[in-house]
Amino acid sequence: MTRPWPGRRTADAGRYVRLTSPRTAVLDTRWPGPADFHATQLRRALNHGMPAAATRAPRLRARVSRSPLPTDLAAAVLRRLPTSTDEELDALRRDLVDAWADFSVKGLPGRRAPSLEEASLLAVSRSGGRTVFVFRQDDLHPSLVLTSARSSGRRAEADAQERAASLGIAPRQLGRLGSWLVQEGLAGLPLWIDGDRDGLTWPATTVATIEDLHDKLRLLALGTARPGNPAAALDAVFDPLGTMPLEARTVRRLEAVRRDLKALDVQVLEHRDVSAQNVTVDCDGPGPGRVTGLVDWEYARDDGIVGFDHLLAAVSLTEHAQGRYRWSDEASYELLRDGWDDAPIYAVARAALRRTLRETIGSDALAGQIEVAVMVSRLTAATRRSLAPTVAQRCLISSLELVLDR
Pairing of strands 266-270, 226-227: antiparallel
Long-range contacts, stretch 361-370, CB < 8 angstroms, 24+ apart: 361/264, 361/265, 361/266, 361/306, 366/260, 366/261, 366/263, 366/264, 367/307, 368/406, 369/257, 369/260, 369/261, 370/261, 370/305, 370/306, 370/307, 370/308, 370/311
At 24 the pLDDT is 93
Tell me: cis bond preceding 22? Omega within 30 of 0 counts.
Answer: yes
At 389 the pLDDT is 60
Contact 113, 100 (CB under 8 A): yes
| SS3 (DSSP) at 84 | strand
Q: What are the pLDDT digits (tens) for 204-260?
A: 889 999 999 999 999 999 999 999 999 999 999 999 888 888 999 999 999 999 999
pLDDT above 50 (res 286): no
At 161 the pLDDT is 92
What ranges do the domains of the chain cover?
A: 16-185, 204-404
At 145 the pLDDT is 93
pTM of the model: 0.89
At 81 the pLDDT is 95
Q: State the average pLDDT for the chain.
A: 87
pLDDT above 60 (res 111): no
Q: What are the pLDDT digits (tens) for 367-399?
A: 999 999 999 999 888 776 654 567 888 899 999
Read off the pLDDT band of 69 (50, 70, 90). low
Side chain identity, residue 298: E
pLDDT above 50 (res 8): no
pLDDT above 60 (res 284): no
At 115 the pLDDT is 64
Q: What burial letters (b/e) apply to 357-378, b meaning 16+ CB within 10 Å?
A: beebbeebebbbbbbbbbbbbb
At 374 the pLDDT is 96
pLDDT above 50 (res 361): yes
The CATH number of domain 204-404, selected from 1.10.1740, 3.90.1200, 3.20.20, 3.30.70: 3.90.1200
